Amino acid sequence: MSRRPTFVIIGAGLAGAKAAEALRDEGFEGRVVLIGDEPQRPYERPPLSKAYLRGEASFDEFAVHGADFYDAHAIELFTSTRCTAIDPAARQLSLDPGGRLDYDQLLLAPGATPRTLEVAGADLEGIFSLRSLATCDLLRAGLAKASKVAIVGAGWIGAEVAASARQMGKDVVLVEAGEVPLERALGVEVGRMFRDLHADNGVVLRMGTGVESFRGHGVAEEVVLSDGSSVRADLFVVGVGVLPNVELAREAGVVVDNGIVTDQYLESSVPGIYAAGDVANAWHPRFGVRMRLEHWATALNQGPVAARNMSGREIAYDQIPYFFSDQYDLAMEVSGVPTRWDQVVYRGDPRSRELIVFWLADGCVVAGMNVNVWDVADDIAELVRAKRPVDLKGLADPETPLSSLISR
């Protein structure tokens, strides 16, 4: 008797879970196996630095699907199971625990792992990183006992944890090598807005300084900064970026370069092996570059596109990148990626914290961030998609509808 076609997804996060759902939506009738090394069913990570960290949300509110979804859709969810090797020639996986599993098509969605600091004392107790529910639970328990928190890294995770810790009544020191928070994501000029936001909310900012070491007796007691000063705290959080989980792919001979390299259909260098989410460095046909985006929306949307292509479709992934963040009473969305720009245009007063910021290159919008202004992300994405010079006066004028500026 011939084996039923089997599509396997490695990584039971947002990209993996949405891909499994899409395979069934596409009408795929073979086996769908979703393999994840965490004990829980798939969940979304954004609440881990926000509402869940503060004890204001429960797991069920951010699980990707209800508990009975997987059985109801005949999706075999293997939790606490790690894929340890891929043999592309035999189309076979090694699992721990669980032996071997044959596959016909494979999606790699293993996400990313936080970077660690290679400094003395980095392995002391009381230094936390944040990625999974398990690491969040540890951090939550630590925060409950701490009154002073030092956070190393003012990227998205560091900035959001700083905001949550302040909202929980902790004294917070935020240490960052760059000039301002979120410098790498938004640039210095817009990053200043976030510097002021955190300062106004009582965070002590130590910008422009790296970390030399952590000191303590078994448990971290202070972080020594590159200017020679030190910051004492009860708890430390390190948020200095993530590395894509590429080892499995690399060992299987899949081309890896800042993530798993894919074409616009999210297929890797090995036919029948796809990648999605934080791990995928995917060719973006609209921008003509490869992009690896560590964004919730990318995982949400790439998973299903990869799944549909595994089922025989040919859909290019060409969505405009989208990211959101919440810090204190500031909620924002970014459409596009501000990697290269020569002009910043404000639609509203930057000090008001209710505005839209546009990054432009050669007169064209490359990205836009709406801050406490809603229902504009689609229009901003259209402005980015258009790649045409835009009327600057209209862009800066809150009374001019954004939709009127979009040239198609």
Ligand X SMILES: Cc1cc2nc3c(=O)[nH]c(=O)nc-3n(C[C@H](O)[C@H](O)[C@H](O)COP(=O)(O)OP(=O)(O)OC[C@H]3O[C@@H](n4cnc5c(N)ncnc54)[C@H](O)[C@@H]3O)c2cc1C
Stretch that binds ligand X, among 7-15, 162-170, 193-201, 389-397 (CB under 6 A): 7-15
C-alpha 239/C-alpha 257 separation (Å) is 23
Footprint on residues 191-250 left by ligand X (CB under 6 A): 245, 248
Nearest to 126, CA basis, from 137, 114, 138, 134: 138
With CB under 6 A as the contact rule, the residue among 8, 9, 14, 163 that binds ligand X is 14
Say if strands 330-336 and 322-327 run parallel, antiparallel, or are unpaired: antiparallel
Q: What whole-number distance in Å separates Cα of residue 211 and Cα of residue 244?
A: 23
Q: In whole angstroms, what is the distance from residue 27 CA to residue 95 CA?
A: 27
Closest approach of ligand X to the CB of residue 341, in Å: 20
We find the least distance from the C-beta atom of residue 248 to ligand X, in angstroms, to be: 5
Closer by beta carbon to ligand X, 256 or else 395: 256
Local structure of residue 321 (DSSP, 8 states): P
Closest CB to ligand X among residues 36, 368: 36
| Span from 40-48, 227-235, 304-312, 363-371 in contact with ligand X (CB under 6 A) | 40-48
Least distance from ligand X to the Cβ atom of residue 356, Å: 18
The contacts found for 53-62 with CB under 8 angstroms, 24 or more apart, are 53/136, 53/139, 53/140, 53/143, 53/161, 53/164, 54/164, 54/167, 54/168, 55/140, 59/133
Instruction: Give dist(CA 44, CA 28) in Å, integer.
Output: 25
Q: Which of residues 368-407 bind ligand X (CB under 6 A)?
A: none
| HSE-up (13 A, CA, CB side) for residue 36 | 22
Euclidean distance between CA atoms 365 and 348, whole angstroms: 17
Residues 44-63 close enough to bind ligand X by CB under 6 A: 45-46, 48-49
CB 279 within 8 A of CB 245: yes
Q: What mask, x for binding ligand X by CB under 6 A, covers residues 127 to 156?
A: ---xx-------------------------
Which lies closer to ligand X via its Cβ, residue 246 or residue 356?
246
Q: How far apart are CA 347 and CA 157, in angstroms?
A: 27
Q: How far is the CB of 376 from ligand X (least distance, A)?
A: 17
Candidates 5-13, 304-312, 336-344, 380-388: pick the segment binding ligand X (CB under 6 A). Answer: 5-13
Alpha carbon 198 to its chain centroid, in Å, reads: 21
Closest approach of ligand X to the CB of residue 67, in Å: 17
Closest CB to ligand X among residues 309, 405 = 309
**φ, ψ of residue 196 in degrees (nearest 5):** -65, -40
Pick the piece of the chain touching ligand X (CB under 6 A) from 4-12, 184-192, 203-211, 399-407: 4-12
Query: Is position 295 an interface residue for ligand X (rule: CB under 6 A)?
Result: yes
Residue from 9, 13, 183, 185 touching ligand X (CB under 6 A): that is 13
Taking the complex as a whole, how short is the minimal distance between the CB of residue 381 and ligand X, in angstroms?
14
Choice between 110 and 121, CB closer to ligand X: 110
**Cis (ω within 30 of 0) for the bond into 350?**
no
Binding site for ligand X (CB under 6 A): 10-16, 35-38, 45-46, 48-49, 82-83, 109-112, 130-131, 157, 245, 248, 277-278, 294-297, 299, 323-325
